[in-house]
Copies of this chain bind each other. A is one copy, B any other.
Amino acid sequence: MSSFDLTILGCSSATPTSFRNPTAQILNISERFFLIDCGEGTQMAMRRFKVKFSKINHIFISHLHGDHFFGLVGLLSSFHLLGRTNSLEVFGPKGLKEIVEIQFKYSDTRLRYQLNFIELDTTVSQTIFEDNKVEVKTIPLSHRIPCNGYLFMEKPLPKGLKKSKVQFYNIPIANLPGIKRGDDFITEEGKVISNADLTVDPPPPRSYAFCSDTIYLESIVPLIKGVDLLYHEATFMQDMQDRAKETYHSTTIDAANIALRAEAKKLVIGHYSARYRDLDPMLAEAKTVFPETELALDGKAFSVAQQEWRS
């Protein structure tokens, strides 16, 4: 069973509070550890929640408001001081590279590892990362400054072969890759054995969408359709919808409506305004629209279980 686990390192908006860190999350897909946003104190939260520094090879920053990236330069600096040699990719909007580099210039820091910035166009959805197991796309959002979310998707697995059938029909090895991709098999006698008879379906690929920060934006729905786990900011409760609009943020009900329209399997809300000490009313309000809602809380983990192989 390969992992697909999200851990919340911080879920506060704007300022850190005594009880919540600013935004940062760790997503573990098959032992790839993606750091998503990096508010001040993220490296301390990583220590607190036992995230191994050396496992992080990719960092995704949504936008350049401080509560989403003020912890980045400290983390990059600690990687250096702790002797990191593996290269690191940092994805984010234009400006991030300049901000980090000027700080390394004045501190006379020459990194011992390769640091690559990939500055993104936040206005279009693009594939920005891909390996044999995972693909990452951007989700254009609408905030006061350029901002995008990220969609993390497992790559589809090939179909599995029913070994007994392969033996029974004595299928040549050369045909197997095609059958895994969905081909039928035609025996020497010309009989068609349907692919469904020969294979089992893999578990469907799992996906996670991170949407922070944004005004209510229906254009993201097709991009995240059917997502297993959706994080959507909910800075305010619905009675503050005017304030939400003014500041280009969402309410609990906005987040729940996006989850509903996107047919998400589960919604996690976060990025709470510091005015909300007790979060239960926010959760209750979101659930009136989308019952499968949970609260982001510092240190809380959400796993998406892998489904069974199906014949």
Contact = CB atoms under 8 A, between A and B. Distances in A.
Interface of A: 14-18, 21, 40-41, 43-44, 47-48, 64-66, 70-71, 73-74, 77-78, 81-82, 93, 95, 98-99, 102-103, 105-109, 144-145
Given A41-B44, A66-B73, A15 B82 contact: yes
A78 B93 CA distance: 22
A116 to B, nearest CB: 19
A107 B143 CA distance: 11
B48 A18 contact: yes
B43 A107 contact: no
A146 to B, nearest CB: 9
B77 A66 contact: yes
B102 A106 contact: no
B70 A17 contact: no
Contacts of A66: 73-74, 77, 103, 107, 109
Q: Among A73, A107, A144, A145, which residue has the most Cβ atoms of chain B within 10 A?
A: A107
B106 A95 contact: yes
Nearest to A79: B15
Nearest to A43: B16
A15 B106 CA distance: 18
Given A40-B71, A41-B44, A93-B106, 7 more contacts: A14-B78, A15-B43, A16-B47, A40-B43, A40-B74, A64-B106, A66-B77
A192 B243 CA distance: 75
Nearest to A145: B108
Given A15-B78, A40-B41, A81-B14, A99 B106 contact: yes
A56 to B, nearest CB: 15
Given A40-B41, A106-B64, A47 B18 contact: yes
A107 B145 contact: yes
A185 B255 CA distance: 81
